[in-house]
Amino acid sequence: MCGGAHGVPRFRLPTQGTDGGVDPSAFRPSSEQFGRTTGTVVRCLRCGHGSLAQLPSRDTVAAAYEAAADPVSIREEPGQMETARRALQLVEQALTPGRMVDVGCWTGSFVAAAAERGWSAEGIEPSTWALARGRERGLDVRRGSLAEHGLPARAFRLVVLCDVLEHLEEPAAALDAVGELLEPGGGVFLTVPDAGSVMARLLGRRWWSVLPMHLQYFTRTSVAQLLDAHGFQVRSVRTHAKTFSLRYYLERLEGYSTTAAGAAVRAAERAGWAERLVTPNLRDRLAVFATRGGRLARGGQAV
């Protein structure tokens, strides 16, 4: 991200690799395959950014995303909507609602939340399963990516990249594509796991954001440097807490112990708490809002 020339191995390729290093079953939001990577991760000594030393086949990765499915996501849509509403409250301190596109929109919760708040909201997504769910919700979603999207240039006040950049082979090219989509004074809202956080450093390879589908491991420094290098002005960097049911968070313990996860879920069910929405802030995720092309866009015009 910073152009540094020196790095050290952080996570080496595990022995249980699959074809091309890619495990298609792991390419879903609720994956519990913590600690597995598709290749050796190298950490930059200048900015702390981590990335795969050797990237998997583009075709293999693309096929995995197209086939990705996760019925748990449907159950957790109320929490996803609440997470999106909080993000939009932050964005709307700077931008008035206009046209918005969510890149990698999954089942469309951010699109739905934005439409509620007066945005002209649409989304693009590679997963066939997730697109079908988004269309069932009556949302304007279509197949696409930042490499192949068919979207009009300079037409969007806001581009959203929630949990997207860490999956990409070339995050820099993605931000250039975002810049082409934005109207003057428009903004990008993005979220990424924070590989420089205390939690990430304490857990090491067992951190829950070390996953087979992640090609990049951002830090506060590396994401800020990337945005700055591609013409964006960072307006806000905050920790990012996601809202899910308590059941969901307890189920994620399967990444460490199936027995412990099952016992925790059963205890929550007995107490009547399993479906309660919770928002724990573990301070190991980043929410970043940045603008490009001059002063902030309001009311349909750059000001």
Report the pLDDT value the prediction gives residue 9, as an integer from 0 to 100. Answer: 87
Question: Does residue 253 lie within any of the structural domains?
Answer: no
Task: Measure the CA–CA gap between 190 and 301, rounded to whole angstroms.
Answer: 23
Q: Which amino acid is at 58?
A: R
Report the pLDDT value the prediction gives residue 143, as an integer from 0 to 100. Answer: 95
Q: Domain of 19?
A: 7-243+279-302
C-alpha distances in angstroms, 247 versus 88, 135, 261?
A: 25, 26, 9
Task: Measure the CA–CA gap between 287 and 220, rounded to whole angstroms.
Answer: 10
Task: Measure the CA–CA gap between 228 and 3, rounded to whole angstroms.
Answer: 13
Question: Does residue 251 lie within any of the structural domains?
Answer: no
Residue owning tokens 């007066």: 118
Question: Does residue 249 lie within any of the structural domains?
Answer: no
89 Cβ neighbours under 8 A, 6+ residues apart: none
Question: Does residue 53 lie within any of the structural domains?
Answer: yes
Question: Does residue 257 lie within any of the structural domains?
Answer: no
Task: Measure the CA–CA gap between 303 and 295, rounded to whole angstroms.
Answer: 6
User: Which pair of tokens denotes residue 26?
Assistant: 């792991």
Cβ pair 1, 174 in contact under 8 A: no
Of 28, 29, 24, nearest to 63 by C-alpha is 24
Q: What percent of the chain has pLDDT over 90?
A: 74
Question: Does residue 258 lie within any of the structural domains?
Answer: no
Q: What sign does the CA torsion over 40, 252, 260, 202 have?
A: positive
The four Cα atoms 216, 222, 223, 224 give a dihedral, to 10 degrees, of: -170
pLDDT tens per residue, range 6-54: 889 887 765 554 444 566 677 788 888 888 888 889 999 988 899 998 8
Check: pTM over 0.75? Answer yes or no.
yes
C-alpha distances in angstroms, 78 versus 124, 240, 246, 276?
A: 20, 17, 12, 11
pLDDT tens per residue, range 245-264: 999 999 999 999 999 999 99
Calculate Rg over the CA atoms of the chain: 19
Q: Which CATH number covers residue 234? A: 3.40.50.150
Look at phi and psi of residue 294 and say left if phi exceeds 0, alpha if psi is from -120 to 50, else beta.
left
Of 163, 159, 145, nearest to 216 by C-alpha is 163
Question: Does residue 250 lie within any of the structural domains?
Answer: no
Q: pLDDT (tens digit, 0 to 9) for every residue of the chain, 303 residues total?
A: 778 888 898 877 655 544 445 666 777 888 888 888 888 899 999 888 999 988 888 888 888 899 999 999 999 999 999 999 999 999 999 999 999 999 999 999 999 999 999 999 999 999 999 999 999 999 999 999 888 888 999 999 999 999 999 999 999 999 999 999 999 999 999 999 999 999 999 999 999 999 989 999 999 999 999 999 999 999 999 999 999 999 999 999 999 999 999 999 999 999 999 999 999 999 999 999 999 875 555 544 333
Report the pLDDT value the prediction gives residue 303, as an integer from 0 to 100. Answer: 30
Task: Measure the CA–CA gap between 169 and 6, rounded to whole angstroms.
Answer: 19
Work out how many domains the chain is built from and give that number. 1
User: Which pair of tokens denotes residue 6?
Assistant: 């020196």
User: Which pair of tokens denotes residue 179?
Assistant: 């810049």
C-alpha 58 chain-centroid distance = 19
Question: Does residue 252 lie within any of the structural domains?
Answer: no
Q: Which amino acid is at 274?
A: A
